[in-house]
Amino acid sequence: MNELFECDATELAAHIASGAISAKDMLKASLARSRRINPALDAIVHEQPEVAEKLCDETPADAPLSGVPTLLKDLGAEAIAFPSHNGSRLYRDTVYKYDSSIYTRMRAAGLIPFARTTSPELGIGPTTEAGVYGKPTRNPWNTDHTTGGSSGGSGAAVAAGIVPLAHGSDGGGSVRIPASCCGLVGFKPTRARLPDGPGVGEGWAGMAIDGFLTRSVRDTALMMDLCHGADLGAPYHAPPLKSGYRAAMKTPPIGLRIAVLDTDFLGNPIDAECREAVYKVAGLLKGLGHEVISWQTTIAKEVREMMLAWTKIVASGTELSVRYKKAIAELKPEDVDGVTYGAVQLGQTVSGADYLQSINTVHSFGRRMAALFQDFDVLLTPTLAEPPAKIGRYKPDNRNFMDYRNGPDGVFSYSPYTAVFNASGQPAISLPMHWAPGNLPVGVHFAAAFGEDEMLMGLAADLEEAAPWHPKQLELIQQLH
């Protein structure tokens, strides 16, 4: 049985389809592994074993991932059968009256959700330490460190081998940051590639999008092929795909011009392990026949302006989410985590004109990035400016939201790369290609021009074949058997 937890979703689906194990037996095994491992991680909440068993009976045997157990982030992915806290005491045990499009597409793929995974309150942190859960979510590679956020519970569960893939979402790096911290693949597609409906028109002015935490490029490509496309009433949609994500894996791009940035976008130095990861991958790319060039940032001013606008938009979105549950005038500091309270206070200072100006700033930045990517095909950076932070360093108790995000040791200095591509809407992916001392994963980040998802997926597949990371992932999973 233990070897099944070492499989990615594609391989596990094949075992279930062959009759080597039934969907219900696999579900029971995943639940048992979760109950044994999760107390040390605090990554999984809202178990629904009876619901999951019923889903096993309802799932067609010929669905691509029929019977494969999975988890839903405790934020978004609204589903009637799966209550959610949204990482917040205000939203504790929220019961939905509808199924979201991303949930119905995951179910059509054959996946069997059985619980939710922890998130920072309303998704606004790079660490998963929300007060509603009582404990921080810990990194299975090294439990003194964070899993990242906001899809941190999903990252921990997939890395620990509880499920082969899990749902996440990404509004400023919330899939890619946990992928980096937990040694996984995390892909943020082009804006509007995945559905947001029916409850949401767009998240955070179009900067937020759903996604998945996986251990392999092929699982990410499969999930994207199965779930992409506008849903009913979508306000806009991404450019059409040429052939699909899995097809792109079979024809990796050749002769790309790849720019390498070994500082942050402001020109500040980064951790030596992150630089080493980038240099190592740059050498690998040269060996694969790509042109690799050193690039010095030319957009520091634009990035600063964009991050200030991003912060105001997220603060406004957080205020709105809180307002759905409690009148802002009645909100007390103890009702929410400190960071959330600070975001609400900042949101109240943002006028309608300020909000529109912030959106204009973000869209102007997207145009600047589009022009920049005429000079190269891919930008290579680390995913984070340093290895996974210690638990507590970004504990959500700072009530100055602008300082929390943009201060001297704020979120932006720790994660300077990911939110840039939420703002521009461009596709980006974090791959697990380096480990630092202390067994800490270090993700390497690749971004491409708007709409170039397939090229990026083909490149990721080529890198996985050239420098496989699955053996390293197995070390942790086997250790936890």
- Looking at residue 346, the DSSP 8-state letter turns out to be H
Q: pTM above 0.95?
A: yes
Looking at the annotation, which residues are catalytic?
73, 150, 174
Q: In which domain, by residue range, is 248 found? A: 2-298+365-479
Question: How do 138-139 and 142-146 pair as beta strands?
Answer: antiparallel
Confidence of residue 227 (pLDDT cuts 50, 70, 90): very high
Domain presence at residue 322 = no
Q: Per the domain annotation, does 324 fall within a domain? A: no
Q: What CATH number is associated with residue 27?
A: 3.90.1300.10
Q: What are the helix (H) ranges across 378-441? A: 401-406, 411-414, 418-424
Number of domains forming the structure of the chain: 1
What is d(CA 392, CA 8) in angstroms, rounded to the nearest whole number?
A: 31
The reply to whether 314 falls in a domain is: no
At 410-459, the pLDDT tens digits run: 999 999 999 999 999 999 999 999 999 999 999 999 999 999 999 999 99
The secondary structure of residue 140, as a DSSP letter, is: T
Instruction: Flag whether 230 is in a domain.
Output: yes
Q: Is residue 184 part of a domain?
A: yes
| Torsional sign, CA 426, 432, 433, 436 | positive
Residue 15 lies in a domain: yes
Report, as an integer, the average pLDDT of 92-108: 98
- As a whole number, mean pLDDT of residues 292-313 equals 98
Q: Does some domain include residue 373?
A: yes
Task: Report yes or no on 160 lying in a domain.
Answer: yes
Instruction: Identify whether the C-beta of residue 163 lies closer than 8 Å to the C-beta of residue 54.
Output: no
Give the mean model confidence (pLDDT) for residues 279-292: 98
d(CA 372, CA 374) in angstroms, rounded, equals: 5
Structure tokens at 297: 């940032």
- The percent helix, strand, coil of the chain (3-state, each to 5) is 45, 15, 40
Residue that the structure tokens 């042109």 belong to: 291
- Closest by CA to 78, choosing from 58, 62, 98, 48, is 98
For 136-153, what is each residue's pLDDT tens digit?
Answer: 999 999 999 999 999 999
